[in-house]
Amino acid sequence: MCGIFAIFSKTGGPIGSKRYFKNFQSLREIAYQQSGKQRKHRGPDDTGLELIQDHGVCLVHERRGIVGFRTGHQPLVSADGTVLVVANGEIYNYLEQSAEIAKKRGRYDPKSDCSVIVELYEEYGEDLFDYLSGMYAFALYDKKTKNVMLARDPIGIIPLYYGYDKDGNLFAASEMKCLIGVCEKIENFPPGMMYYGKADKMEFKCHFKEKWITEIPKEPANLVMLKQKLESAVRTHLHCDVELGALLSGGVDSSLIASIATKIMREKDKNFKLRTFSVGLEGAPDFKYSKMVAEHIQSDHTELVFTVEEGLDCIRDIIYHLETYDITTVRCSIPMYLLTRRIKSENIRMILSGEGADELFGGYLYFFKAPTTEDFHKELVKRVLNLYHSDCLRANKVSMAWAVELRVPFLDRDFLNYVMSIRPEDKIPGDLNCYTDKKQHRIEKYILREAFSDEDYLPNTVLWRQKEQFSDGVGYNWIDTIKEYAASHITDEEFDMRTKLYPINTPETKEAFYYRQVFEEMFPGDYPAKTVMKWIPRTDWGCSSDPSGRAQASHQAHK
């Protein structure tokens, strides 16, 4: 997991030596300085820069080595030197693709997992995405055609922003902060999309087209296949050249990933112990269950106990790294931020996590209020396609704040497409027909739990534990206190001016106002504000607008 930065001339020729800031005199200096805003956390291992002065192109790569640790220097360059790529992410099927490339070329030794992007582009052009499985964002430049290709993975697990300076030159970066000061217009690059063409004619093309996005699925659940596909997803996500670990909240999602990973790793080493990590306030609900799972899978487990004060100290730091002011994301990112720092101190560079399961299976408690199965599926689709605004954004940016790569097996492309193609009546929670056509009250994520109930993956207490959102599970006092703390910074007079001050995504509470105020100091202007989408339950279904799971009627407090 790394950071990328790129500049592409509007004309395809030299940009010149115009000064963006007082001390900037060259395109190389601009690129190196702006990319430096993500260098310490996204690129502690290496910086690679390629300048094509005559074309007005500069590509920068800030590297955190996970695969091909000694050989994966970027920018990646084709054999004839005409195609250059800077990529951030992991290509999970690179070994398979490397083997196919070798068959055609006689020999091919990839320098890293992302190396195959170059060869697949040379072979298939715009259709290369049909052959990629992974999480990625990349910028490619073709010297022969002077074409640019920008692309992002189907769900937006990896962040990518783009923008234009006052002269219309195109910029792209892993983090928005790298574009502040040089771009007049900044946008969040949409997931599942690519741009291919000249830098001054930006038109998006979708490379992720699935029936479940526009149609209501009719395929019944097959629990055997569901189980096999998740195990396969975890297996592909385990490949790395560094020590790995796993987040373990004690909820069913992270617990299943940790358990499956342990079983797979013990195929080669029966004494393998997975490093697992949990976080919370003293006496947090999650600790009871994460400890139970750790004992069950015999992991090397670490609990990080933090104080409310330590969490509150991080608010400004977390908004800077997240580049959002969304209440839900800020609340739950701070404990994870503190935990990831601890994980880094243990010399672990890659961790597995359970993000995405709630969106695929309907795990949030407000889904109990879904009026119909059709409404339920449409809401799932909406949540999945907007993960890049919330959980994916949080998972990537919080972990990379400390140069730790986080992988999300639930969002593996094959697994994602299978689960989202299951008919909604098999997934919806509540008093409806389940996939066995029996009437019963179903807990959220029922089919996921049932698929792993026939073997000793998890203790039943954990396997059938009700959803507890991460920001609640770390300790109920956390959300209560951060709400009060944030609100204490905003006077009634300031709050009354909220519509005038912030016409875009106007804050509805003093807590939201405070986060927005901090965000505006760091990322001023309308364009950065528009990159944020607020995460709230469906109030039109009769749900509370507070994103905390405890605010939903179906929540049961854990003791």
Concerning whether 178 is annotated as a catalytic residue, the answer is no
The CATH number assigned to the domain holding 400 equals: 3.40.50.620
CA distance 159 to 135: 10
CA distance 360 to 247: 19
Give yes or no: residues 288 and 177 share one domain. Answer: no
**Tokens of residue 353, six digits:** 């996590």
3-class SS letters over 262-283: HHHHCCCCCCCCCEEEEEECCC
CA 300 to chain CA centroid, Å, is: 26
The residue among 415, 434, 466 that closes a domain is: 466
Cis peptide bond N-terminal to 75, omega within 30? yes
Residues 223, 230: contact at Cβ < 8 Å? Answer: no
Q: Count how many Cα atoms sit within 13 Å of the Cα of residue 163 in the half-sphere of its side chain.
A: 23
CA distance 290 to 268: 25
For the beta carbon of residue 267, count every other beta carbon within 10 angstroms: 9
**Tokens of residue 203, six digits:** 């038109």
Per-residue pLDDT reduced to its tens digit, 229-284: 999 999 999 999 889 999 999 999 999 999 999 999 999 999 999 999 999 999 98
Order the strands of the 204-206 sheet from edge to edge: 76-77, 83-91, 134-142, 147-152, 193-197, 204-206
3-state secondary structure of 359: helix
Integer-rounded Cα radius of gyration of the chain: 23
> Phi then psi for 535, rounded to 5 degrees?
-95, 115
CA distance 313 to 97: 46
Angle, alpha carbons 250-2-183 (nearest 5°): 115
Does 425 reside within a domain?
A: yes
pTM as predicted: 0.94
Number of domains observed in the structure of the chain: 2
Nearest to 367 by CA among 467, 223, 435, 447: 467
Give yes or no: residues 437 and 297 share one domain. Answer: yes
337 is in which domain, residue-wise?
A: 220-466
Any alpha helices (H) in 298-412, and if so which ranges? 308-312, 315-322, 327-345, 357-361, 373-385, 391-400
CA distance 48 to 53: 16
Give yes or no: residues 293 and 432 share one domain. Answer: yes
Contacts of 378 (CB under 8 A, 6+ apart): none
Angle, alpha carbons 91-89-323 (nearest 5°): 155
Give yes or no: residues 42 and 177 share one domain. Answer: yes
Give yes or no: residues 284 and 408 share one domain. Answer: yes
Residues 103, 94: contact at Cβ < 8 Å? Answer: no
Give yes or no: residues 160 and 275 share one domain. Answer: no
Cis peptide bond N-terminal to 191, omega within 30? no
3-state secondary structure of 446: helix
> Phi then psi for 60, rounded to 5 degrees?
-125, 140
Give yes or no: residues 240 and 182 share one domain. Answer: no
- Name the region of 525 (left: φ>0; alpha: ψ -120 to 50; beta: rest): left
Q: Low-confidence residues of the chain, pLDDT below 70?
A: 16-25, 69, 432-440, 468-473, 475, 547-559
The CATH number assigned to the domain holding 118 equals: 3.60.20.10
Does 228 reside within a domain?
A: yes
Give yes or no: residues 126 and 153 share one domain. Answer: yes
Give yes or no: residues 228 and 168 share one domain. Answer: no
Does 478 reside within a domain?
A: no
pLDDT of res. 558: 46
Does 173 reside within a domain?
A: yes
Angle between helical axes of 327-345 and 315-322 (0-180°, round to 10): 100
> Phi then psi for 95, rounded to 5 degrees?
-70, -40
Give yes or no: residues 231 and 158 share one domain. Answer: no
Dihedral through CA 453, CA 459, CA 465, CA 468, nearest 10?
Answer: -120
Per-residue pLDDT reduced to its tens digit, 321-366: 999 999 999 999 999 999 999 999 999 999 999 999 999 999 998 9
Taking the alpha carbons at both ends of the chain, their separation in whole angstroms is 37
Contacts of 268 (CB under 8 A, 6+ apart): none
Residues forming a β-bridge with 136: 89
Contacts of 495 (CB under 8 A, 6+ apart): 510, 513
Give yes or no: residues 170 and 267 share one domain. Answer: no
Does 536 reside within a domain?
A: no
Does 527 reside within a domain?
A: no
Please tell me what DSSP assigns to residue 65. Answer: -
Residue 159 to residues 2, 64, 77: CA-CA distances in angstroms?
10, 15, 23
Give yes or no: residues 201 and 237 share one domain. Answer: no
- Strand 83-91 relative to strand 134-142, pairing: antiparallel
The residue among 466, 488, 518 that closes a domain is: 466
- Strand 350-352 relative to strand 244-247, pairing: parallel
For the beta carbon of residue 346, count every other beta carbon within 10 angstroms: 13
Catalytic entry in 2, 114, 332, 543: 2
Contacts of 22 (CB under 8 A, 6+ apart): none
Does 541 reside within a domain?
A: no
The residue among 409, 432, 466 that closes a domain is: 466
Does 483 reside within a domain?
A: no
**Tokens of residue 552, six digits:** 């939903």
